[in-house]
Amino acid sequence: MQDEDKELIQSALAGNQGAYKRLMVRHRPAIFHIIYRIVRGEEVVEDLVQETFMKAFASLATYRSEYKFSTWLYRIAANAAIDFLRKKRLRTLSLDSPPDTGDGATTIDIPDNSHNPEQDIVNREQRLSINEAIDSLPEKYRVVIIYRHQDDKSYEEIAESLSIPIGTVKARIFRARELLKKKLRPL
C-alpha cells in the first residue's frame, strides 16, 4: 500500500488528477474516522475531511517519502479537527472598551478557565489506569489495541503488520475492548 501511495503521489505531482482522486478515495474512510472521533458531529466532519485533503494536496510537494503518507495525512486531519474545536470554543470579549449597560460603563470580571489542577490529576490517574489495564492484557490483545488506539492504524494496516486476517484483527480488538471494560468498570 505504501509503494502504491508513493506512485500515486508522484503521478499527482506530475499533474494526474486521477491520482489525486485515488489517494482521496483510499484514505477518506480513515480520515473521516479520525476527524469524527475528535469533533463528534457528522455535518462538520465532511467539511473537515474536504479541508484536510485540500491542505494535503496543496502541500503535497513538501511530503517526505521516507515517512508513511497515511501518517502524514492523519496528522493534517487531526490538526484540522483540533483547530476547528479551538475556533469553536473561542469566546472573545473586548477588554479595551467595557460594555455599556445604559447606566454607564461597567467592569468585567473574567474567570480564569485556563488551568484546573484537580482535573489534571484526575486525567493523569485515568491515563495511568488505562495504561495499566492495557499492559495487563494478554499480548495478542494488547498489541492490536495499541496499534488501533495509540498508533491510529487501520484494521488493514494492523493485519498487514501482524500477518493475520482482518477478521482476526477485528475479533481481537473486540475482545480486548471487552476485557478493558471489565478491568476499568470499577473506576
Is the full-model pTM beyond 0.85? Answer: no
pLDDT-derived band at 1, boundaries 50, 70, 90? low
Average pLDDT on 89-100 reads 61
> How much is the pLDDT for 86?
84
Cβ(93)–Cβ(110) under 8 Å?
Answer: yes
Residue 110 has pLDDT above 80, yes or no: no
The rounded percent of the chain whose pLDDT value lies above 70 is 84
Average pLDDT, the chain: 84
CATH of the domain spanning 117-184, picked from 1.10.10.10, 1.10.1380.10, 3.40.50.800, 2.60.40.1120: 1.10.10.10
| Contact criterion met (CB below 8 Å) for 53 and 31 | yes
Confidence of residue 164 (pLDDT cuts 50, 70, 90): very high
Higher pLDDT, 112 or 19: 19
- CATH 1.10.1740.10 spans which residues of the chain? 2-89
For residue 90, pLDDT over 70 is answered with no
Pinpoint the residues of the chain covered by CATH 1.10.10.10: 117-184
Q: How far from each other are the two terminal CA atoms of the chain, in whole angstroms?
A: 40
Q: What is the CB neighbour count within 10 angstroms for residue 147?
A: 20
* CATH class name, domain 2-89: mainly alpha
What is the Cα–Cα distance from 53 to 35, expressed in whole angstroms?
A: 12
**Across the strands, what pairs with 179?**
none
Whole-angstrom distance, CA of residue 20 vs CA of residue 94: 44
